[in-house]
Amino acid sequence: MDLSDSPEDAEFRARLREWLGKVLPTLPPKPSPDDWPGRRAHDLGWQRTLYDAGYADVHWQASPAVRLIFLEETERAGAPYVGANFVGLLHAGPTIAAEGTPAQRARWLPPVLRGEEVWCQGFSEPDAGSDLAALRTRAWRDGDDYVVSGSKIWTSHAEVADWCELLVRTDPGAPKHRGITWLAMPMDAPGITVRPLRTLAGSAEFAEVFLDEVRVPVAHRVGEENDGWRVTMVTLSFERGTAFVGEVVACRRVLGELALEARRNGRWDDPALRRRLGALDAGFRALWRLTQWNVSEAEAAGGPPGIGGSVFKLRYSQARQELYDVAADVLGDDALDLDRPWVADRLSSLSYTIAAGTSQIQRNIVAERILGLPKGR
Amino acid sequence: MRFRLTDDQRALRDGVRGLLARRFDRTALRSAVDRPGRLDRTLWRELGAAGFFALRLPEADGGVGLGLPEAVLMFEEAGRALLPGPLVATHLAAGRVPGAADGETVVAAVDGGGLVEWLAEADVVCGDAEGARPLRSVDPLTPLHRVPDAAAAVDPVAVLLTAAEQLGTATRACELAVQHARAREQFGRPIGAFQAVKHLCAELLVRAEVARAAVYAAAVTAAPADIAAARLLADEAAVRGARDCLQVHGGMGFTWEADVHLLLKRAWVRGRRAGGGAAGEELLAAELLSGAAR
Ligand SMILES: Cc1cc2nc3c(=O)[nH]c(=O)nc-3n(C[C@H](O)[C@H](O)[C@H](O)COP(=O)(O)OP(=O)(O)OC[C@H]3O[C@@H](n4cnc5c(N)ncnc54)[C@H](O)[C@@H]3O)c2cc1C
């Protein structure tokens, strides 16, 4: 068991740290949360900066250990988050890299890396959330196109996306997992209506997407027709992999800030509050170590982080919500003031046990696929 | 960074597991329960011969010359087997108390908490046990004395090895729960097919795996804050894990004949040792203020 960097990893870390120190002070200020065009431009700009410095593909090419160092150092330095690039960089891109044809890789991957195109994820539907394979959006062949009709919901960043990783039903007669196809849909195609949905935090983070006979070229299909469920599992394995790792570092930083704030406003004198902060710190320390463990195991096995990601996600989503609940105790009455720091974060943390697979679904995965308990209904 | 067990560490763990399976199987566990307060001296010497106590002593001093990570793996196995006795105290006394290293001497210690384990069976007691009075221990496998002035400094290694034992017990609780959930049938199917049971088992695993990462990392860094964190998570994994395991067992779990209560009671006893609970949380809180997290 070794927690120290290898010489090459240490060199990567040192170079990255030095570069971040130089480049971060030159970045434009963060746009306000409701300024979507501004946020898109900001996130794409950061990706372009990474591209120019040779770090754009760190999530795809590098060893898991290097990816971890990248997430740790960028977060520690306060670099921008992937933001609008989340889907393209962390799951659509890797899926296309793994399952796409050479032509598809050449068409879609470079613009993601260069910070030119934003992707969104059109998986969930009003009647297909946890039970994703119940999706009903239909697609039928017409010449060289699929014609798609139906609707998607909770689509994050749909308003500013250029492409959508879209799941459609191509064979309504087949068993529900068998008739699904994975398509790359251009978001400017005729027949697409995006209707922003307000989140409980008040922002328009996600949207409903209505599809009325939208034409998507057959050449945009990733994987075989009706083999989309398998491709989807590839996508989800990336989504649940190391995607949340940088955030653990961020949570520990917030915890330190909360301690200072509590000392400033006198609540530090309450031993019950101190103890909760200490207990949370233990949890975040452990989550960071668990990540290092998962990454080391994945590296040894030569694959992406496996279902161990569900273990991490379960505990992390809970810890993140506890963190902001403690923040509310530190803030006292100010916890009800949306202009105070951490209050909006508290609201958005409520999505963590829902998005990317609810905690109940993750527990099923852990119980059935790791512990081997019988499948239920 | 290669944060995984080396081949040697795996071999050591498997070796200890094998030894305990041979020498302290379920029959031995239950007969120890039937003879409360008595330590198996022969087994103690065998543990000594296997290097359990001398593991971290330099080879020049007759030890095995290994480090904290290896000690943690051994104590995890001890916790998994519910091995009784003042294991941590004797391990820490090796090299300082004659006979401790090879298991000839049984050493108890006043660790800064208010209780001493195995005082009456010990040949040597480290710390001031003046005025110690026996209490009727909740754990049939750990006799306890209360000491009036337990002011000893807390040894971080003792805190870490306790965490390792708790981790082992948490792992055992998860295994027992899953075994039972697969085998026991109600309503015409294994109870493990029901989500309410499935989710208890999943949380058992999550707590144990998170604790494992923390305990192993603390063994590598030996930093007091890492050790405090490891102990808190391992205490949680063992105590809550044993409770959930009991719940999964239903009426069987409330039965003396089943081993589940032994897991919970031992986890409670270890949870009262110095360095856990409030002390650990306060240590980490102070660390937050010092800015170490940022
Ligand atoms: C902030 C946010 C962003 C999102 N972004 C996207 C996106 O970009 N693209 C996209 O496709 N989707 C997105 N989603 C959707 C997300 O994936 C779904 O919300 C999620 O999978 C749950 O589905 P649902 O909302 O339909 O809830 P439901 O599936 O209806 O679940 C409701 C409740 O029932 C429980 N439940 C359901 N089935 C079971 C079961 N078998 N066992 C036990 N309990 C069960 C759930 O745990 C939950 O508590 C986003 C969601 C959020 C909150």
Look over chain A and give the mean of its residue pLDDT values, rounded to a whole number: 93
Q: Are residues B172 and B108 in the same domain?
A: no
Boundary of a domain, candidates B146, B179, B199: B146
**What interhelical angle do A271-301 and B277-289 show, nearest 10?**
80
Query: What digits encode the pLDDT tens for the residues A196-213?
Result: 999 998 888 899 999 999
Closest by Cα among B131, B174, B154 to B274: B154
Task: Determine the pLDDT at residue A306.
Answer: 64
- Measured at the CA of A71, the angle between CA A68 and CA A75, to 5 degrees, comes to 145
Confidence check: pLDDT of A135 > 50: yes
Closest by Cα among A189, A193, A187 to A208: A193
Name residues whose C-beta falls within 8 Å of residue B99's C-beta, 6 or more positions apart in sequence.
Answer: B105, B123
CATH code at position B124: 1.10.540.10
- Domain residues for the domain of B264 are 156-293
Whole-number Å distance, alpha carbon B113 to ligand 1 midpoint, is 47
Boundary of a domain, candidates B146, B172, B189: B146
Query: What digits encode the pLDDT tens for the residues B10-56?
Result: 999 999 999 999 999 999 999 999 999 999 999 999 999 999 999 99
Confidence check: pLDDT of A242 > 70: no
Helix, coil or strand: residue A168: strand
Q: Are residues B170 and B264 in the same domain?
A: yes
Q: In this structure, is residue B224 part of a structural domain?
A: yes
Cα B266 versus chain centre, distance: 8
Q: In this structure, is residue B2 part of a structural domain?
A: no
Q: Is A129 in the pocket of ligand 1 (CB under 6 A)?
A: yes
Quick check: is A299 catalytic? no
Token pair recorded at residue A172 = 């309504």
Which own/partner contact pairs does A127-130 have at CB distance under 8 Å and 24+ positions apart? A129/A154, A130/A357, A130/A358, A130/A360, A130/A361
Measured between CA atoms, the residue of chain A closest to residue B4 is: A1
Whole-number Å distance, alpha carbon B266 to ligand 1 midpoint, is 40
Task: Determine the pLDDT at residue B204.
Answer: 98
Looking at the complex, report in whole angstroms how far the Cα of residue B264 sits from the nearest Cα belonging to chain A.
21
Of A87, A118, A154, which is best to mutate to test ligand 1, by the most ligand atoms within 8 angstroms of its C-beta? A154
| Tally of domains in chain B | 2
- Cα B142 to Cα A278, A319, B85, B268, B272: the distances in Å are 30, 34, 7, 11, 12
- Higher pLDDT, residue A76 or A212: A212
pLDDT, average across residues A43-56:
96
Look over chain B and give the mean of its residue pLDDT values, rounded to a whole number: 95
Whole-number Å distance, alpha carbon A230 to ligand 1 midpoint, is 20
Task: Determine the pLDDT at residue A305.
Answer: 60
Q: Are residues B97 and B202 in the same domain?
A: no
pLDDT, average across residues B104-133:
93
Residue A377: pLDDT band (50, 70, 90) is low
Q: In this structure, is residue B76 part of a structural domain?
A: yes
Q: Is A355 in the pocket of ligand 1 (CB under 6 A)?
A: yes
Supply the residue whose CA is at minimum distance from atom 30 of ligand 1: A129
Residue B294: pLDDT band (50, 70, 90) is very low
Task: Determine the pLDDT at residue A164.
Answer: 98
Q: Are residues B103 and B203 in the same domain?
A: no
Between A253-257, A295-299, A306-310, B5-9, the lowest mean confidence (pLDDT) is in A306-310
Nearest to A278 among B189, B198, B285 (CB): B285
For residue B2, which residues of chain A lie inside 8 Å, CB to CB?
Answer: 1-2, 296, 299-300
Looking at the complex, report in whole angstroms how far the Cα of residue A236 sits from the nearest Cα belonging to chain B.
20
pLDDT, average across residues B224-247:
98
Measured between CA atoms, the residue of chain A closest to residue B10 is: A1
Q: Are A191 and A213 in contact (CB under 8 A)?
A: yes
Whole-number Å distance, alpha carbon A132 to ligand 1 midpoint, is 9
What single-letter amino acid sits at A214? V
What single-letter amino acid sits at A248? V
Q: In this structure, is residue B151 part of a structural domain?
A: no
For residue A313, which residues of chain B lie inside 8 Å, CB to CB?
Answer: none
For residue B210, which residues of chain A lie inside 8 Å, CB to CB?
Answer: 283, 286-287, 290, 311, 315
CATH code at position B244: 1.20.140.10
Q: Are residues B274 and B190 in the same domain?
A: yes
Q: Are B178 and B279 in contact (CB under 8 A)?
A: no
Between B108-112, B251-255, B256-260, the lowest mean confidence (pLDDT) is in B108-112
Helix, coil or strand: residue B116: strand
Query: What digits encode the pLDDT tens for the residues B52-64?
Result: 999 999 999 989 9
Closest by Cα among A101, A87, A77 to A19: A77
% of chain A residues with pLDDT over 70 = 97
Looking at the complex, report in whole angstroms how far the Cα of residue B221 sits from the nearest Cα belonging to chain A.
8
Q: In this structure, is residue B14 part of a structural domain?
A: yes
Are residues A372 and B182, on separate chains, in Cβ contact within 8 Å?
yes
- Cα A305 to Cα A65, A290, B46: the distances in Å are 11, 12, 41
Q: In this structure, is residue B1 part of a structural domain?
A: no
Dist. CA A301–CA A294, nearest whole Å: 10
Dist. CA B90–CA B125, nearest whole Å: 10
pLDDT, average across residues A63-90:
90
pLDDT, average across residues B99-108:
97
Are residues A366 and B221, on separate chains, in Cβ contact within 8 Å?
no
- Which is the catalytic residue, given A72, A99, A117, A239? A239
Residue B292: pLDDT band (50, 70, 90) is low
Token pair recorded at residue A120 = 């969104």
Q: Are residues B76 and B184 in the same domain?
A: no
Query: What digits encode the pLDDT tens for the residues B209-218?
Result: 999 999 999 9
ipTM of the complex: 0.93
For residue B294, which residues of chain A lie inside 8 Å, CB to CB?
Answer: 252-253, 256-257
Q: Are residues B204 and B266 in the same domain?
A: yes
Measured between CA atoms, the residue of chain A closest to residue B214 is: A286
Atom from ligand 1 closest to the CA of residue A205: 1
Q: Are residues B120 and B166 in the same domain?
A: no
Whole-number Å distance, alpha carbon A357 to ligand 1 midpoint, is 6
What single-letter amino acid sits at B142? T
Task: Determine the pLDDT at residue A303.
Answer: 66
pLDDT, average across residues B198-227:
98
Dist. CA B195–CA A203, nearest whole Å: 34
Supply the residue whose CA is at minimum distance from atom 48 of ligand 1: A358
Phi, psi for residue A25 in degrees, rounded to 5: -65, -15
Atom from ligand 1 closest to the CA of residue A356: 17
Task: Determine the pLDDT at residue A370.
Answer: 93
Of A118, A124, A131, A132, which is best to mutate to test ligand 1, by the most ligand atoms within 8 angstroms of its C-beta? A124
Q: In this structure, is residue B22 part of a structural domain?
A: yes
Q: Is A348 in the pocket of ligand 1 (CB under 6 A)?
A: no
Atom from ligand 1 closest to the CA of residue A132: 21
- A244-272 burial string, b = 16+ CB within 10 Å, else e? bbbbbbbbbebbbbbbebbeeeebbeeee
For residue B9, which residues of chain A lie inside 8 Å, CB to CB?
Answer: 1
Q: Are residues B168 and B140 in the same domain?
A: no
Q: In this structure, is residue B230 part of a structural domain?
A: yes
Query: What digits encode the pLDDT tens for the residues B129-168?
Result: 999 999 999 999 999 999 987 777 899 999 999 999 999 9
- Cα A359 to Cα A349, A352, B36: the distances in Å are 13, 9, 43
Task: Determine the pLDDT at residue A316.
Answer: 95
Q: Are residues B14 and B142 in the same domain?
A: yes
Q: Are residues B138 and B176 in the same domain?
A: no
pLDDT, average across residues A269-280:
97
Confidence check: pLDDT of A241 > 90: no
Supply the residue whose CA is at minimum distance from atom 45 of ligand 1: A360
Atom from ligand 1 closest to the CA of residue A152: 11
Boundary of a domain, candidates B146, B173, B200: B146
The burial class, CB within 10 Å (0-12 / 13-18 / 19+), for A330 is buried
Residue A10: pLDDT band (50, 70, 90) is very high
Q: Are residues B110 and B15 in the same domain?
A: yes
When scoring A2, A248, A297, A373 by the number of chain B Cβ atoms within 10 A, the one with the most, hence best to mutate, is: A373
